[in-house]
């Protein structure tokens, strides 16, 4: 019984850990958003989206050193969208 519980806890724990690559995408997406949003929040979202897609296009054409992943776009853009919604629609 204890091994089943430990196995379940380990599976849940592994789901909660954010991979380093995804954390970097989230960090840089938020960094770019915060800088550009000083000028215009809508443009900031557009710039972050362009940054995310551009990075994955670069990865696609440089597969020998990079791995393209659609989830990288999500991890780059989602935190910026969350901040945008919180700042300008709720707050």
Exposed/middle/buried for residue 78 (C-beta within 10 Å: 0-12, 13-18, 19+): middle
pLDDT at 8 over 70: no
| Confidence (pTM) | 0.80
pLDDT at 46 over 90: yes
* Distance of alpha carbon 69 from alpha carbon 60, whole angstroms: 9
Q: Report domain extents, the chain.
A: 19-90
Higher pLDDT, 3 or 27: 27
Tell me the C-alpha to C-alpha distance, in Å, between residue 43 and each of 4, 34, 40, 88.
50, 11, 5, 14
* Distance of alpha carbon 76 from alpha carbon 10, whole angstroms: 27
Percent of the chain predicted with pLDDT > 90: 73
* Distance of alpha carbon 33 from alpha carbon 48, whole angstroms: 6
Determine which helix (DSSP H) or strand (DSSP E) holds 20, and give its type and residue range: helix 20-36
Higher pLDDT, 33 or 4: 33
């Amino acid at each position: 019984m204890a091994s089943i519980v430990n196995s379940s806890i380990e599976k849940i724990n592994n789901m909660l850990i954010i991979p380093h690559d995804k954390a970097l995408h989230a960090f840089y997406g938020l960094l770019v958003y915060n800088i550009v949003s000083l000028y215009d929040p809508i443009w900031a979202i557009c710039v972050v989206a362009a940054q995310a897609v551009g990075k994955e296009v670069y990865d696609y054409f440089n597969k020998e050193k990079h791995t393209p992943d659609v989830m990288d776009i999500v991890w780059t853009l989602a935190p910026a969208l969350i901040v945008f919604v919180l700042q300008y629609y709720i707050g």
